[in-house]
Structure 1
């Protein structure tokens, strides 16, 4: 068994492994790793385990920290999508996780693996490494072999009607064509995170570099030449597309629903480019009411419990940070 890290992993061997895996996503590609390392204030670590001269396991971990006081309490290492394994083996997974989490950049307060596939078979292996399982939900929509008519028929009646009304009122969705469009979208998104989501949001550079490095399409929703929403979607060609960020102006027009069209962008893209799956990503905890989950379900996707694995490295800062974030949320109500 041999371990290779970061830029020492040959690009062609990396892609060969990803292309042959059923559980790979855009988050484990060399391009995503390089993109994350290009964003100011962010970085990423990649680890590959070789067996018999070929990659047999791989994990990309992003290291994140936002500016300001809240950033000090939110230093985190997140592996989107989870590990990619060439074979089912607790020993292989354990070796990958241990090697991946040694000498991480940025001194993270906690580690989190956000699964986009079913890794329930490895709960015992994670538990043995002192990781805690969180039953986080996910929603995905099977697009394989489907037309847009098929996709629309799978939505609730009201969702179809609201999309139709939006289009009839002149709203459109298209791939982003300029920095000005992207900046206008980012202003809407940052206002949403400041006033309602109340969670850290990457800087504009993140979105600018995402588009420049073509990690996936960026969609813009417009009406009467005005940007009213959009979405940012990492994509693994032929396999999956993810709604990493999406938003729309609230109460913009009584017959226009910008959020809906922000999701229609990647849906139409998936059908047009023969992509098998649209992943809506997070849908909250099953024990808690979550409006975003109900919203996503109306597009016809399937609810799944892929869960997350969390490991707290600095309990004092972790729980203090949660308290600071809770106070921050309450102060903005």
Structure 2
């Protein structure tokens, strides 16, 4: 039976869809459509009248360019059809319809690095190697592979008065966002969404389960660090984290921001904790060195890109393929 594809641009028009992948969930769709600068849409594949796959695409607009970002390669269910064949239909449709609408279409955070390779190339995408860092947190001691210096920093920060918590109201989210925005000001290539994204996480659930959490580090009732995570099946993804390390060097707020999220994730029964961006494999990256000290495993993956300007896309294909 032929696959039928439907595009949904508003969350209220979406049918009931199964799935566990937060990056293709209705809940994340609702969060993003309520956040300035984002315009999500969902591609749904049908076999007859039955949905068998979905792909959440996120349009991110800035002053100069717009890009379409997709995390992983979709989610598939209720079918015996090969998932890569469904993805081929979704990818071809997305590319043909939008190749001139965005400066770049980007697929990132692929859980299976080789999934869809043939179809990406057929549609003119080029790959760039990236790294993932994943911590196993289902052990009785999640600091088993953590460096001794990192353990000392955690102990010292808590001993010196830092308090780990969870944001549960908009006032705390606002204070967290203000801290994070100041932290990200110096990060040239880091993109921080509007505060609405974080306040919406407080209110949004998916099938009565939490989509995400905002973790805080405070000192004398002032938020000096924190992190934001999304929950997906048995994995927790760290999206944003930071701390006022220059103002509070002996409290290690950036370290505790990650540790707080990891402890909560283990207590809730999640198996893995993944840092959403570990950088390029051939380039020194301070953030990757920072997160590896929590004892995680480094894995190779790739991102796929397709540029609006065909001449530039051809050059990039020759460089990276």
Name the counterpart of 2:197: 206
Name the counterpart of 1:100: 94
Quick one: which of 103, 127, 131 aligns to 1:137? 131
The structure-2 alpha-carbon separation of the partners of 1:36 and 1:127, relative to structure 1 and needing over 3 Å to count, comes to same
Name the counterpart of 2:55: 59
Q: Kindly indicate whether the alpha-carbon contact (under 8 Å) linking 2:100 and 2:308 is maintained by their aligned counterparts in 1.
A: no
Match status 1:275 vs 2:270: yes
The structure-2 alpha-carbon separation of the partners of 1:105 and 1:142, relative to structure 1 and needing over 3 Å to count, comes to same
Quick one: which of 157, 163, 166 aligns to 2:148? 157
Match status 1:124 vs 2:109: no
Please state whether the residue corresponding to 2:262 is helix, strand or coil: helix
Name the counterpart of 1:168: 159
The structure-2 alpha-carbon separation of the partners of 1:249 and 1:138, relative to structure 1 and needing over 3 Å to count, comes to same
Q: Which one has the bigger strand percentage?
A: 2
The structure-2 alpha-carbon separation of the partners of 1:119 and 1:195, relative to structure 1 and needing over 3 Å to count, comes to closer
Structure 1 unaligned residues grouped into runs of 5+: 20-24, 319-333
Report matched runs for 1:219-234 at 5 Å.
Answer: 219-234=215-230
Whole-angstrom CA distance in 2 between matches of 1:110 and 1:202: 19
Report matched runs for 1:1-333 at 5 Å.
Answer: 1-6=3-8, 7=11, 8-11=13-16, 14-15=17-18, 18-19=19-20, 25-51=21-47, 53-66=49-62, 71-73=63-65, 75-86=66-77, 88-101=82-95, 103=97, 107-144=101-138, 146-147=139-140, 150-214=141-205, 215-236=211-232, 238-314=233-309
Whole-angstrom CA distance in 1 between matches of 2:96 and 2:183: 36
The structure-2 alpha-carbon separation of the partners of 1:315 and 1:291, relative to structure 1 and needing over 3 Å to count, comes to farther
Displacement after TM superposition at 1:317 (Å): 10
Query: Deviation per CA, 1:214-267, whole angstroms, max 9, x where unpaired?
Result: 53111111011111011111112x522111111100223342111111111221
Whole-angstrom CA distance in 1 between matches of 2:158 and 2:110: 32
Structure 2 unaligned residues grouped into runs of 5+: 206-210, 314-321
TM-score using structure 1 length: 0.83
Q: Which one has the bigger helix percentage?
A: 1
- Measured on the aligned residues, the alpha-carbon RMSD in Å equals 2.4
Paired residues, what number? Answer: 300
Query: Deviation per CA, 1:73-118, whole angstroms, max 9, x where unpaired?
Result: 3x11111233224564543221011223454599321111112401
Q: Kindly indicate whether the alpha-carbon contact (under 8 Å) linking 2:131 and 2:278 is maintained by their aligned counterparts in 1.
A: yes
